[in-house]
Structure 1
């Protein structure tokens, strides 16, 4: 076995020669040295933190082929194309290939002509694949998106459970499991299910300082989204998440009608349409994809400038993972969520009617409570997010609650009035109604429905005129979020909870969040420290380089980022190298790319 010093120098040499970087980021070096030395590792690192290098470099340093288990067949081609552009000998085996293509890859694997081989997890349940691997020399197993092994996660893949047997068949081959999101419970579940109890665990900071987190109250959410895209993200690539397929279709159509190039993505579309829309998103610049959570896992596109949610995510883990698809290149990006009372009602109803036992529903309820706490906090969003993952943070100055601090106010009396109205309906009239009717009663509105049910004779009729309709809806939403009120049935009728009695009995104070009267537009996301600040005179040069990149990518049939990331082009435009040697010092320009693209870039700069 090589010494630690040799492992470090070999890994650094590969980092510079192949990938064009001078130094490792975060905990990459420690992880790479551990795996190169033959150790097992479980790595929790945020999207954009450089996870792939943690197995790609050890695979290039160690003898043999690195076998990468990746859950998304549709992305393997692009992952392999990106590596080949760097001069890495990469291949994949999946169901999209014909017999001849598979035979060629198998031959390359057996003859040692590959550095990395990508497989879907289901391939490892096929005996012929296992026999093939036993005939070759394997340097390591990398299990990407390892949270897919968690049976209570929304990305659960049953085939991942079989990966626990890798160590039994290949006890001498190191394994590295990687994920971009995991609470302590999921972290423990991954270790158990993948038989990684003795592995070394590496947990990086989950902070993504280049992402600006913003959560707004719903008020015509599609219009709010359109305003965001027009004013802050014109021409940018981004992802919009919706809960239902119908909402996905309508939102994509709405954006397209309003001049935003957008395509839908959900499980109800045929396979060809989904594949086409995903390929367009990866290969075109400035495209918006509107999707259910079925979209995005494993997406390597570095220049996603925003992720928007038009419906409340079911958990903080899901929200973090989805927003993490923005700004993988470290440049400023936005995570924007529109959230309202109906979201809370709908999510609570979905939990009550979900399959599974009471413990499962309790778990879903706990996930939702944490998501609601993030939405309703008056503290820094980033601090709240990091706390959820068991990490400490300090106020970031770059989320909406830091930029435009909301007020916290004593909502005990309004809460008592609202809960009292629900109590009167439920116990005096044996009736249950949704939020709208209860609020009309508090405001003293003589609507046909109020008159029909004689609700104007209730003692609580008209006792809530100190707040506006929208403010009362905020009170209902926050009482639901705090578990002081609940919903039931298909119509989302309001009912009291055990905790309601504490408020009605004046034993508990209720603190509520009040949005500023006029919310100032959040500042443009600040530039991340590692992003390249580009002087004004470099902007036209950057656009020329982007045009060259687009033409080159189209000619080669690969996404533009496979040629070069925006970040690298920005640095080239700023430093304006005039020789190949100078160009070779730019971050992200490795030997292979310098040889392949060096002269065309210098020609573009000269033009």
Structure 2
């Protein structure tokens, strides 16, 4: 059976392709080279998994991380695809090579380091190759945010098999990066398929940091299900993981400095969990193929909008509602500018542009999603209805005069004091320090009062974000290149003031069981038991959406169960009777 639609139904349990999946599969089946840019959760892996079964030979999947390969291997085997990985972490490499040479594999996952080696090229010449699939293809581009040099060594391998189609896949690539991927992998521009970047099920929100731990704790309490908290440093991941246990949720830390066994265990526990929170550096994520992540929170700014899009995209891959919340501070931008100054001069302009774009996303009073999508070249509506600014519009005020006063105070005190001291000068709060320094006689002493006083902290954040102020090594504020234009009135400083915080919702709308159906919970219990017995994560058995449909339809036979979306032949055979028993017991 090689008809793609039949395979889609029988193997994956879907009656129709989603989005551009059908177009991509059709190109692959016809032998055409393709670059598919599809948002996370749009079903990129199906675009090579299905052809791997339909075509004669083995599909070689080049993937950047061993953990990602092993997750995808589990998912492929669960639907009956003959798959294997060939990595340094596998102890069955001889068996895998024998299966490959014997034509017994539909999919073979390898890392780019292995794929670009001469020995691997010789191995491939010993069997029939159906397709090269290059996953996370943005890693091939120096313009991408996750550049991997080994990806740029793949072209000779691909060219050595000119009759084998090549399929590059990524969720994150702007126009410049897309053009570079096409060139580096030898794909004609006509082979580009862009599905769009919108993730409508993710609700975006961004807030200034006040008390990071408390803000994150409140957020986690409001949002059930598994989630990721990204922190800027290794030490902070461990501090947050310890502090957030008070929410009652299991928490783990993840960073490259942990012992390998601890890191692997924490990752495995998270992947298998239905409510765990993992506090991690950005070393965690690309290798996680977990569809039921209900939220991603950032305790500091990411490297760029591209990085933010990819990191937040790890939430809600199953299509259910998810939340992405970024907590930022002005010091994030100050540190980022310092890092830019340390990179080679040729890259500094691009890095500054990335930081400016990120600053615009953080500061906007408009739709967050619209800014994200415009960054990737789309033309979205002005409002999405599913970000913080659309759901609860903030107030925008012109704080240019307050900004000028703040800058004047920084200048007149010698550009050597921190924000707290400058605030006390502007408010006229006397202290031993202000008297000793003679600052109480300055013209800026006490020049801010009344309603304007509430603007001081947001103004200092805005000036740091815009590079009108910088922090010296001793923590004092000094002028940045943008200060002069603000002081002269040539540049306005508009502040976005978030609305008053509404009373928190306990266990908000991201619950997997929105109608409170007890049958759904019973089906989840059954799934949990099956997953534990087979030592796989629950989502490998079925996604929540499949269980919700089962609970709603209540199929009375295996044939009726087979009509549920996401129930393919292999899973029906393996799990159908167990779930039917639960449904029958529920009456």
Asked whether the two chains share a fold, i.e. TM above 0.5, the reply is yes
Match of 1:233 among 223, 232, 238: 223
Q: CA deviation at 1:500?
A: 2.8
Q: CA deviation at 1:59?
A: 1.8
Match of 1:175 among 160, 166, 185: 166
Aligned residue for 1:516, secondary structure, equals coil
1:414 and 2:392 equivalent? no
Q: CA deviation at 1:603?
A: 0.9
1:282-431 superposed matches below 5 A: 282-352=271-341, 354=342, 356-394=343-381, 395-425=383-413, 429=414, 431=415
Match of 2:251 among 262, 269, 286: 262
Q: CA deviation at 1:594?
A: 1.0
Match of 2:551 among 547, 552, 573: 573
How far apart, in 1, do the equivalents of 2:432 and 2:372 lie?
Answer: 45
Q: CA deviation at 1:568?
A: 0.5
Match of 1:112 among 90, 94, 103: 103
Q: CA deviation at 1:363?
A: 2.0
Match of 2:72 among 72, 79, 82: 79
Q: CA deviation at 1:214?
A: 0.9
Relative to structure 1, the CA distance from residue 385 to residue 523 in structure 2 (aligned partners, 3 Å threshold; closer, same or farther) is farther
Q: CA deviation at 1:470?
A: 5.7
Structure 1 residues 313-372: Cα deviation after superposition (integer angstroms, max 9, x where no partner): 1211111101000000110111011122332333233333x2x22332232222111111
How many matched pairs?
584
Cα pair 1:42 1:177 within 8 Å, conserved: yes
Relative to structure 1, the CA distance from residue 339 to residue 523 in structure 2 (aligned partners, 3 Å threshold; closer, same or farther) is farther
Q: CA deviation at 1:92?
A: 1.1
Aligned residue for 2:294, secondary structure, equals strand
Match of 1:19 among 3, 12, 26: 12
Q: Which residue of 2 aligns with 1:3?
A: none
Cα pair 1:148 1:156 within 8 Å, conserved: yes
RMSD between aligned residues: 2.2
Structure 1 residues 166-194: Cα deviation after superposition (integer angstroms, max 9, x where no partner): 33211111111111111222222222332
How far apart, in 2, do the equivalents of 1:399 and 1:523 lie?
Answer: 19
Greater alpha carbon shift after TM alignment, 221-230 vs 75-84:
75-84
Q: TM-score scaled to structure 1, two decimals?
A: 0.92
Q: CA deviation at 1:197?
A: 4.2
1:502 and 2:485 equivalent? yes
Greater alpha carbon shift after TM alignment, 56-65 vs 85-94:
56-65
Q: Which residue of 1 aligns with 2:23?
A: 30
Cα pair 1:15 1:23 within 8 Å, conserved: yes
Relative to structure 1, the CA distance from residue 570 to residue 375 in structure 2 (aligned partners, 3 Å threshold; closer, same or farther) is same
Q: CA deviation at 1:518?
A: 4.2
How far apart, in 2, do the equivalents of 1:522 and 1:284 lie?
Answer: 23
Relative to structure 1, the CA distance from residue 167 to residue 256 in structure 2 (aligned partners, 3 Å threshold; closer, same or farther) is same
Gaps of 5+ in 1: 1-5
How far apart, in 1, do the equivalents of 2:131 and 2:508 lie?
Answer: 40
Q: Which residue of 1 aligns with 2:571?
A: 593
Q: Which residue of 2 aligns with 1:205?
A: 196
1:450-529 superposed matches below 5 A: 450-467=434-451, 471-483=455-467, 485-519=468-502
Aligned residue for 1:214, secondary structure, equals strand
Q: Which residue of 1 aligns with 2:540?
A: 562
Q: CA deviation at 1:154?
A: 4.7
Cα pair 1:532 1:571 within 8 Å, conserved: no
How far apart, in 1, do the equivalents of 2:439 and 2:186 lie?
Answer: 62
Structure 1 residues 12-67: Cα deviation after superposition (integer angstroms, max 9, x where no partner): 11111100000111111111101111111111111111111111112222221110
Q: CA deviation at 1:560?
A: 1.0
Cα pair 1:78 1:559 within 8 Å, conserved: no
Aligned residue for 2:56, secondary structure, equals coil
Aligned residue for 1:304, secondary structure, equals coil
Match of 1:50 among 35, 43, 49: 43
1:243 and 2:221 equivalent? no
Q: CA deviation at 1:525?
A: 7.2
Greater alpha carbon shift after TM alignment, 558-567 vs 186-195:
186-195
Q: TM-score scaled to structure 2, two decimals?
A: 0.95
Relative to structure 1, the CA distance from residue 469 to residue 510 in structure 2 (aligned partners, 3 Å threshold; closer, same or farther) is closer
How far apart, in 1, do the equivalents of 2:535 and 2:391 lie?
Answer: 43
Q: Which residue of 2 aligns with 1:41?
A: 34
Gaps of 5+ in 2: none
Aligned residue for 1:139, secondary structure, equals strand
1:162 and 2:147 equivalent? no
Relative to structure 1, the CA distance from residue 535 to residue 436 in structure 2 (aligned partners, 3 Å threshold; closer, same or farther) is closer
Q: Which residue of 1 aligns with 2:425?
A: 441
Cα pair 1:334 1:525 within 8 Å, conserved: no
Relative to structure 1, the CA distance from residue 498 to residue 569 in structure 2 (aligned partners, 3 Å threshold; closer, same or farther) is same
Aligned residue for 1:206, secondary structure, equals coil
Cα pair 1:89 1:114 within 8 Å, conserved: yes
Cα pair 1:341 1:474 within 8 Å, conserved: no
Q: Which residue of 1 aligns with 2:265?
A: 276
Q: CA deviation at 1:133?
A: 0.7
Aligned residue for 2:566, secondary structure, equals coil
